[in-house]
Structure 1
Amino acid sequence: MSATTVSRTATASVVRRPRAPGITWVVWRQHRTAAWIALAVLAALCAELVWLRGAMTGYVAEHGLAVPCRPEDDCAAFTAAVDGFRLRYGDFLGYNVLLLEFLPLFAGVFVAGPVIARELESGTYKVAWTQSVSPARWFAAKLGLPVAALLVGASVLSAVFTWTWRPVGHLDDGLLVDGTRWYEAFDALGPAPVAGVLSGAALGALTGLLVKRTLPAMAGTAAACVLLYWPLTTVRPYLADPVTTTRPASSDYPPSLHGGDSWHYERGMTTPAGGRLPDAGCIEAAGISRCVTRHGADGWYLDSHPPAHFRRLEWAQAGLVTAAAGACAAGALWRVRRLCA
């Protein structure tokens, strides 16, 4: 055998040598069991929601609940049917709402612990960094596959739940879904769960990089998600201009905060100078006239959002939450660069 033949054979063997698996493949191998379990759970939840929609719409058609009962009619049978609907399907709707509302928390805890903090705690990230994998690429690969899977799952689940809820959500001013009206199930409908999952994952990544220990990072992410949720619910009513209803002070009572499918979130008294006294404390007292006189009020007001504001509020909140996710992701990337400095 000539030297040229030997050289060609050696070259061919080098070419045919299998390549080392990439970091994305390694991430998949690490989390494939959890991924298959999550996929099975997602399929089961979607099947349950499809069944729930069929059962609810069938009940509504059978008992004639699509048309509200008129005051001049005998509504005893209608009221009994509504109570039966709530008894049969109210808990199903409520549990699904809770599940979707907790998706961001789950995403943050999952990313903070098993994906990021465990790598830093065990020191395995150093192996990847010494094998021509930059810290930024390592961070992107570690987060890319899990976050993409979480976003796809949240999008599918949110879309299916919205599709299930919509046929009964606005019937008779939300009477059937009392407790899960559009403003009560806000974080489970539309783009809200998807934006929340993105924000939770980014917050989990940042927490995991800062804490560097699995269990403390998971606990810290859970606490941070809960703490950030309350300011979000506080500013939500102000993400779109409300509809304001006013009455003169001669009215016996201020506009009601209850009833209908509109979100009545604030009421109070108005002053001649144009000021407002939200829930002045004595509004519910017996001496309404004395309350008005003591505060120098000349009328009542009620701020509310009709169902038509739902999409505007949803997308405004989604944009705000996505911006927060971008800030957390930027902070996490900065932390990664500091780790290798």
Structure 2
Amino acid sequence: MSTTASVTRITPGGPVGPVGPVGPVEPAGRPPRSLGIAWLVWRQHRTTAWIALAVLAALCAELVWLRSAMTGYVAQHGLAVPCPDGDGCAARHAAVDGFRGRFLDVIGYNALLLEFLPFLAGLFVAGPVVARELESGTYKVAWTQSVSPLRWFAVKLGLPVLALVAGASLLSAAFTWTWRPVGHLEQGRLVDGNRWYEAFDALGPAPVAGVLFGAALGALTGLLVRRAPAAMAATVAVCAVLYWPLTAVRPYLADPVTQTRPASADYPPALSGSDSWRYERGMTTPSGGRLPDARCIEASSIQHCVTGHGADGWYLDYHPAAHFQRLEWAEAGLVTAAAAVLAGGAVWRLRRLCP
């Protein structure tokens, strides 16, 4: 506890007496209260932190090995150089199949882990960091030690979130560094199923923004529910619900490239041999309207189907691989803004909990 000092006024005739308190005086050598809370947070979660650090180091080492193995395979079989059409490409096709059989599942498992990082961050913050503290009532001890609720919450949440963001940044950078040398080879066929638009949430800044979102959601859910198991379950459910519309609006975060053809031509080209993200196709009307995916390709007579819909052409909307960075940063900004809103909601809820 702080002690209060007083000052005695000295005059030529001797001391007159105490003037009054001049403020709290901390005992010598006592660390600031925020550092004390930070030390407590570390003591509470140090086992989890060491385990997470060991797992992170193992994953980074595995990704270094994976990149070395994949680039070595590509160099050995000449997959970095396009193959001209002809019988000479038969061996190349076998090499592509061999690459996919050897590495594709490993890439997929790493991508899946990164895609689930927002859920893991939300689970950790909602349960062990926030809800368990409220459920056990230990937060009251800190609040009675001249620590404001907001400072307690900032330190309590700040250290774990900082560690989560740092770990996600390192892991995302390592995975992107590993994936990039092979991601666009053979028009994406080497990593089919993990092309840039299929492994979107595992590449670039997307996992980092997702971790911020998951942590903010977990903090708000923990403050609302105040029971660790229920808060963790609610965080996973809400995170899944909120991420579903995000994948639906993702292709519209940047202007696409549109390809059109007259109705007399074939159905919209599939951009064969390209790793472009083809997300919408259909027919155009004379007035400039669109009929997305009218299923004419499944009709027995395509032209009869086109005439029946009053269409005069085809269209195809797609994002080339060059749009990858633009879409990534647009989504990261959107998710970070949503995380800021959730963090603001958590602060509002904390103030409501204050006595």
**TM-score, length of structure 1 as denominator length:** 0.93
Q: What are the residue-to-residue correspondences of 1:148-187 with 2, within 5 Å?
A: 148-187=162-201
SS at match of 2:190: coil
Other-structure match for 1:268: 282
CA 1:300–1:81 in structure 2 vs 1: closer, same or farther (change >3 Å)?
Answer: same
Corresponding position: 1:112 with 2:126? yes
Q: Which amino acid aligns with 2:251?
A: P
- What's the offset of the Cα at 1:175? 1.4
Report the counterpart of residue 14 of structure 2 in structure 1: none
> How far is 1:290 from its partner?
1.0
Gaps of 5+ in 2: 1-26
Which piece of structure 1 moves more, 75-84 or 258-267? 258-267
More strand by share: 2
1:155–1:193 CA contact under 8 A, matched in 2: yes
Q: Which residue of 2 aligns with 1:93?
A: 107
Larger gyration radius, structure 1 or structure 2: 2
Match of 2:49 among 18, 35, 57: 35
In structure 2, the partner of 1:62 is: 76
Amino acid at match of 1:340: C
Number of the residue aligned with 2:145: 131
Spell out the pairing of 1:206-285 with structure 2 (5 A cutoff): 206-256=220-270, 259-285=273-299
Q: Pick closer, same or farther for the CA change 1:146–1:82 going to 2, 3 Å.
A: same
Tell me, what secondary structure is at the counterpart of 1:283? helix
1:143-196 deviations in Å (ceiling 9; x for gaps): 100000000000000001000000001112111111111111111000000000
Do residues 15 (structure 1) and 28 (structure 2) align? yes
Question: Does the 8 Å CA contact 1:67/1:172 hold for their aligned counterparts?
Answer: no
Equivalence for 1:202: 216
Separation in structure 1 between the aligned mates of residue 112 and residue 136 of structure 2, nearest angstrom: 34
Q: Secondary structure at the match of 1:247?
A: strand
Preserved CA contact (<8 Å) 1:258 1:264: no
- The letter for the 2-side match of 1:192 is A
Structure 1 gap ranges (5+): 1-13
Distance 1:149 1:62 in 2: 39
1:286 aligns with 2:284: no
Which among 348, 351, 354 is matched to residue 334 of structure 1?
348
Give the paired residue count. 328
Is the CA contact 1:252–1:288 (under 8 Å) kept in the aligned structure 2?
Answer: no
CA distance in 2, matches of 1:334, 1:174: 46
**Residue 104 of structure 1 contacts residue 196 of structure 1 at CA under 8 Å; is this kept in 2?**
yes
Q: 1:259 to 1:42 in 2, by over 3 A?
A: same
Task: Determine helix, strand or coil for the equivalent of 2:245.
Answer: helix
Cα distance in 1 between the residues matched to 2:180 and 2:290: 36
Partner of 1:103: 117
Report runs of 4+ in structure 1 exceeding 4 Å deviation. Answer: 16-21
Shift of 1:258: 6.2
**Contact 1:66-1:171 at 8 Å conserved across structures:** yes
Match of 2:136 in 1: 122
Q: How many angstroms apart in 2 are the aligned matches of 1:258 and 1:331? A: 47
Deviation of 1:229 (Å): 1.2
**One-letter amino acid of the structure 2 residue matched with residue 88 of structure 1:** R
Structure 2 letter corresponding to 1:152 = A
> Percentage identity across aligned positions?
78
Letter in 1 for 2:330: A
CA deviation profile, 1:16-46 (whole Å, cap 9, x unmatched): 6788861111000000000000000000000
* Matched residue, 2:310: 296
Contact persistence 1:257–1:265 (CA under 8 A)? no
Aligned twin of 1:3:
none
Corresponding residue of 1:9? none
The letter for the 1-side match of 2:40 is V
Deviations 1:223-254 (A, max 9, x none): 01111111000000000000000010001322
Query: In structure 2, how many angstroms separate the alpha carbons of the residues matched to 1:18 and 1:246?
Result: 69
- The one-letter code sitting in structure 2 at the alignment partner of 1:235 is V
Query: 1:94-131, CA deviations, whole angstroms, 9 ceiling, x for partnerless residues?
Result: 00000000000000011000000001111111111111
